[in-house]
Amino acid sequence: MTKKKRILSGMRPTGPLHLGNLHGALANWVEMQKTYDCFFFIADWHALTSDYESTGRIAEYVRNMIVDWLSAGLSPEKSTLFVQSHIKEHAELFLILSMITPVPWLERNPTYKDQITQLSNKDLSTFGFLGYPVLQAADIIMYKAYGVPVGVDQVPHVEITREIARRFNYFYGDIFPEPESILTDTSKILGLDRRKMSKSYNNAIFLSDSPDEITAKVAKMLTDIQRARRSDPGNPDVCNVFEFHKLYSDGQAIERINQECRSAEIGCVECKQIMAQNLIKALEPLREKREYYEAHPALVDDIIADGCEKARRVAHQTMAEVRAAIKI
Ligand code: TRP
Ligand code: SF4
C-alpha cells in the first residue's frame, strides 16, 4: 500500500458552523478522509488576530467547533484533529519564519487589504494581523503537508506559504515541501436573505439549530420577490427556497414544486414547510451525533487530547529538524 498523501486545513473558531460551511468546506473534508492522511485543526490563535479585544468566547467556540466537526463526520480514527494553541511549536516556527519573511510580501497580500477595509470597526493595524499569513505558513509547513484544501479567498495565503518555505529551504537546506492549494468549491448555498450565508449577516442556518429553529428560519426566507400574492404564479428559478429544495428534497418533490409554483397551485408557505421538513431530516444524523457527544463530554476531551498528541509528535520532529538547520 502506498502511503497516503498528507493534507492539512484549519478553521478559525469564530462561532457555530452553518450550512454554508458544511457545503463549502466540511463536507469536502469528510470526503477527503478517504484518500488523504488528514490533519484538521482549529486555528484559535488566528482568531486572536481580529478578536483580540474580546477573547472570552474563543474557548467555547473551539469546543463547539470540534462537536460540529464530529457530528458532520470528521473521524478521530481517520484524521488528526487538533487545536493550534495546544501545540506550542506553532509559535516557535512562526517566530523563526517571521525573521525571514519580507514585510512587503505581507503588505501586498490581498486579503490583508480587504479585511482592513471590510472590518473597519476593528483596529487591525497590529503586528499580529499583518503577520497572519506567517502564522498560517507555520501551521502548514509544520506538518509538511502536500496540499491545503481551502476556498479561493485563502489561496494568496498558501502562495505566501510556498514563498516562505522556498526562502527557508534556500537559506537553511531543504526541509519543507511547497504545499499546493486544493480548491474546495465555494458553497452555492445562500443565506435566508439571499446574501452569502454568514454568521455576521444574521442569515444563517446553523448545524446546531433545533428543528423548531430551522422551521422558523425557513419561514422567514425570501422567495421569488415578484410573487406578492398567493394567487400569483412564481418562478422557482429565481427563488432561494427552490435552491434549498435542490439540495434537500427528492427528485419527485423538486419536479412537482417546479410545476406547481409556476401555476400557483402551491403557495410559498406550504413549499417552505416541505423544504424545512426535508432539511430537518437531512440534518437528523448530525443532530443525533451531536447529542451523543454533548452527553459524553469526557469523550470529546479525549478526542482533542489524542489528536493534539498525534500532531505534537509531528511538530516535535519538524522543530528538531528546524533547530538543527538554523543551528540554534
Ligand atoms: N486562514 C484560514 C481561514 O481564515 C484558517 C487557517 C489558519 C488555515 N491556518 C491555516 C487554513 C492553515 C488552512 C491551513 O479560513
Ligand atoms: Fe419559491 Fe416555493 Fe414560493 Fe415557488 S412556491 S416562489 S419555489 S417558495
Q: Which of 218, 230, 242 to mutate to test the pocket of ligand 2 (most atoms within 8 A of CB)?
A: 242
Ligand 1 pocket, 158 CB below 6 A? no
Please tell me the distance from the alpha carbon of residue 204 to that of residue 314, in angstroms, as a whole number.
37
pLDDT tens per residue across span 77-107: 999 999 999 999 999 999 999 999 999 999 9
Give the percent of the chain with pLDDT over 90.
Answer: 92
Architecture of domain 6-189+297-326: 3-Layer(aba) Sandwich (3.40)
pLDDT, position 1: 58
Q: Per-residue pLDDT averaged across 188-196, rounded?
A: 93
Give the percent of the chain with pLDDT over 70.
Answer: 99
- Confidence tier at 167 by pLDDT (50, 70, 90): very high
Chain centre distance of CA 215: 25
Closest atom of ligand 1 to CA, residue 139: 12
- The CA 282 to ligand 2 mean position distance, Å, reads 20
Phi and psi dihedrals of 260, rounded to 5?
A: -70, -20
pLDDT, position 160: 98
Please tell me the distance from the alpha carbon of residue 254 to that of residue 248, in angstroms, as a whole number.
9
- Confidence tier at 183 by pLDDT (50, 70, 90): very high
Chain centre distance of CA 214: 21
User: Which residue lies with its CA nearest to atom 6 of ligand 1?
Assistant: 10
Ligand 1 pocket, 148 CB below 6 A? yes
Closest atom of ligand 2 to CA, residue 260: 5
CB-based contact 245:275 (threshold 8 Å): yes
CATH code of 211-289, in short, is 1.10.240.10
Q: Where are the domains of the chain?
A: 6-189+297-326, 211-289
pLDDT tens per residue across span 265-275: 999 999 999 99
Same CATH fold assignment for domains 6-189+297-326 and 211-289:
no
Contacts of 247 (CB under 8 A, 6+ apart): 23, 189, 282
pLDDT tens per residue across span 230-255: 999 999 999 999 999 999 999 999 99
At residue 194's C-alpha, the angle toward residues 68 and 280, to 5°, is: 40
Rounded to a whole number, what is the distance in angstroms from the first to the last CA of the chain? Answer: 38
User: Which residue lies with its CA nearest to atom 4 of ligand 2?
Assistant: 261
- The CA 266 to ligand 2 mean position distance, Å, reads 8
Please tell me the distance from the alpha carbon of residue 279 to that of residue 54, in angstroms, as a whole number.
34
